Amino acid sequence: MAAALTIGKLAKAAEVNVETIRYYQRRGLLDEPPKPPGGQRRYPAEQVKRVRFIKRAQALGFTLSEIGTLLALDAARVCHDTRALAAHKLTSIEQKMADLAAMRRVLDNLVQQCDAGGGGAECPIIDALAEE
């Protein structure tokens, strides 16, 4: 069995800040081990994997609340529900990408209008944004 880790060693092994570990504990994503009298809390080495999981899930756009759900689904071994949550996240990301593409087209058009206008006193970008 791997040795238990202090919070500092856990943070270093998971490549996060100690405050990140504490924040995850406050959010209920990590258990806080009991503190022995006169000693330091010791975290099971497996917690490194859990912290890395949380960070990777965040990088994929999952909120901490959704990550809590993923962790609960993992503990319950409910892969179908996990897939459904991931599929919902994928749909959400695709919608955001479509929204961003639309924003890009509008901004590109405004920049082109500004370039065609020759930089006069009236700004097509400001005018377009001020319209109702």
pLDDT, one tens digit per residue, over 99-122 is 999 999 999 998 998 888 766 677
For the chain, list residues with pLDDT below 70: 1-2, 118-120, 132
* Residue 51 identity: V
Q: Any bridge partners for residue 5, and if so which? A: 43
3-class SS of residue 36: coil
pLDDT at residue number 82: 94
8 contacts: CB under 8 Å, gap ≥ 6: 18
> What token pair was written down for 54?
């949380």
